[in-house]
Amino acid sequence: MTEEFKITLVNYITGNISDDEKEKAEQWIAEDPSHLELYIQMQEAWNVALLAKEDSKINIEEAYNLLESKLGMGHGKKVSFLRRLPYLKVAAAIILIIISGVIFFPKNKAVDNKEKSFTESVYVPIGDKKKIILSDSSVVWLNSESVLQVSKGFGVTNRTVYLEGEGYFDVKHNEKLVFTVQTKDYTVRDIGTIFNINTYSSDSKFEAAVIEGKISIEGKFSKNKNVSKIYLTRNGVIKIDKTIATLAHTDDAKIVNPIDSSIVKILQVENLDKYAGWKDNLLIFDEDSFKDISKMLERKYNVVILIPDEEIANYRYSGSFNNISNIQSVIEILKETTPANYLIKGDTITISSKK
C-alpha cells in the first residue's frame, strides 16, 4: 500500500474526502477480505480514540495519530481534515462498503494467511442494517454497529461465525456441520433454527431469543469459574447480566449445570418482536430504562443522547415505534408520554427532568 493511498484511507475514515477518492477507497475495501479486515481495525482505532475522553469530547489529534500509527505512516506528511467536528460518534457514520441490498459471501474465498481463523468480515455502520447470505444458504441480518466474521473453511469443515453486536440468524439445516455463533462471552450452537442474538460489547447484557427450533448456549452463568450449557427452544429468551458473569472459555472446560438466577433470566415469550422486530424497522420497549433505550436509539438513528440526570436515566418506559424514519418523530412521541424534557441540537439530544 502506497503512502498516498494510506492518506486516502485516513481521509475516508475521517470523512474529509473527495468523491473520486471515496470511490477508490470503497473499491479497495470491497475487493479483498483482508482489506475489509484492515478497514474495520482502522475504523475501530478511530472510534476508540475519538471517544477516549470520559466527557465524550472528540480528540481529533489523538484519533488521527492513532490512525497514522496503525498504518505505519510517518508524521512528516500531514493530511488536512476537519479540525472542528460536532459532538457525536463520527467514526460510526463512515460507510464501510456501499452495497445496496444483499451481501453474498463467495465460497472458498480466503485471506492468504493460515494464522487467521476468520477470513470473511462485514461491518454495518450506525443507522444501517444488512442482509447477508452465507455460502451454506443460511441468512443473517446484521443490526447497526455490528460485525460478523466467517471462519476459514465455512460450509466445508465447519459452520462457525463470530458476532459482535446484534444478528438475526435463519440457519440452513446441516446434520453434519453444526452452525456455531461465537461471541466474546458465549457460544451459541444451532439445532436447525431461527434465532436472534444481542451481544454488543458496550452493553451490560447478553440476550438470545429463539423464533423457531432449538439452540444451546455455553458459557459462564454463575459467579464461579464453571462453564454451563443451557438449551433454549421456540419462544424462549435468555437474558444474562455480563457485568457479573465474566468470560469463561468452553474449549477445555468441563460443562456443568449450575446457573445463578441473579445473573441469568430464562423466559417464555409469546411475541418476540421486542427481540427480533428491529430487522423490520420495529422498536419495542417493555419497561426498559432510558439508559438502555438511548443506546438503541443512538445505533438506529446515528445520534448522541445525553442523560445527565440519573433518575431520568433509570426511568422505565414501555412503547412501540413502527417504521419511524427519523429521531425527531420518536422524540415528539416521547415528549407526550414521559416526564422529561428533550433538547435537540444537531445530532445531540439531551434528556432532562421536567422538575
pLDDT tens over the chain, length 355 residues = 666 777 777 777 666 678 788 788 878 876 765 676 566 556 555 544 443 433 333 444 555 555 555 555 444 444 333 333 332 233 333 333 222 233 344 443 333 333 356 678 899 999 899 999 999 999 999 999 999 999 888 888 889 999 999 999 999 988 778 899 999 889 999 877 899 999 998 888 899 999 999 998 988 776 666 677 888 899 999 998 877 654 333 343 333 344 566 678 889 998 899 999 999 999 999 888 899 999 999 999 999 999 998 888 888 999 899 988 889 899 888 888 888 889 999 889 999 887 6
138 lies in the same domain as 260: yes
155 lies in the same domain as 233: yes
35 lies in the same domain as 120: no
CATH classification of the domain holding 227: 2.60.120.1440
305 lies in the same domain as 181: no
Predicted pLDDT of residue 335: 83
127 lies in the same domain as 256: yes
Q: Where does a domain end: 275, 301, 333? A: 275
CATH classification of the domain holding 296: 3.55.50.30
Predicted pLDDT of residue 245: 55
168 lies in the same domain as 47: no
309 lies in the same domain as 241: no
Assessment of whether the complete model's pTM goes beyond 0.75: no
- What domain range includes position 41? 3-91
φ, ψ for residue 83, nearest 5 deg: -85, -25
Q: Where does a domain end: 228, 247, 275? A: 275
Predicted pLDDT of residue 153: 85
260 lies in the same domain as 113: yes
175 lies in the same domain as 122: yes
Q: Which of 233, 156, 157, 150 is nearest to 194 (CA)?
A: 233
Q: Which of 135, 123, 128 is nearest to 101 (CA)?
A: 128
Predicted pLDDT of residue 225: 61
Predicted pLDDT of residue 156: 85
Residue 97 within any structural domain of the chain:
no
Predicted pLDDT of residue 45: 54
260 lies in the same domain as 334: no
Angle between helices 33-50 and 3-14 (to 10 degrees): 50
Residues 287-302 as b/e (b if ≥16 CB within 10 A, e otherwise) read ebbbebbbbbbbbbbb
327 lies in the same domain as 288: yes
CA angle 268, 296, 315 (to 5 degrees): 80
Predicted pLDDT of residue 65: 56
